[in-house]
Amino acid sequence: MTKEEWYTQLFEHLGNSKFRSSFHLKQKDIDYIKEKGLKTIREHAMDFIAKREAPAVIPNDGKQTPTKGHPVFIAQHATATCCRECIRKWHKIQPGRDLSQIQQEYLVDVIMTWIQQELDSYGVEE
């Protein structure tokens, strides 16, 4: 399966989830993205994934990602990259071991793809 095929399937399944599809960027999130730029938002996503999702053991797993306060947090819930259990279920990455750099980059790419789709749906050019 190619990356494009996987992403098409993944985002179709996420879109069919009542919970996952309920998340959308609000105007303040869009304004923040426009102010900071997508490069900075990607850096934030990389930092959040590295600190909150990458460790093998996360004491507060399932509660480490807020549901508001940053566009990446919203995207993490929309893309099921918010905790190791969701990552296991939706992305087939097993918990109990540190995420590799490639796995972290994949999760960030999924987050940023969702953010770009949201911006496109609102007609926002970055």
So what's the pLDDT on residue 126? Answer: 65
Render pLDDT for 49-81 as a digit per residue (tens, 0 to 9): 999 999 999 988 888 899 999 999 999 999 999
**Residue pair 43/87 in contact by the 8 Å Cβ criterion:** no
So what's the pLDDT on residue 72? Answer: 98
So what's the pLDDT on residue 62? Answer: 85
Q: How far is CA 120 from CA 57, 63, 69, 114, 125, in A?
A: 36, 29, 21, 10, 7
Render pLDDT for 77-114 as a digit per residue (tens, 0 to 9): 999 999 999 999 999 999 999 999 999 999 999 999 99
So what's the pLDDT on residue 125? Answer: 76
Instruction: Please state the length of the chain.
Output: 126
**Residue pair 108/54 in contact by the 8 Å Cβ criterion:** no
Please give the Cα distance from 16 to 8 (Å, whole number).
Answer: 12
DSSP 45-63: HHHHIIIIISSS--TTTTS
Closest by Cα among 117, 107, 92, 90 to 42: 107
124 confidence band (pLDDT: 50, 70, 90) = confident
pTM for the predicted model, two decimal places: 0.94
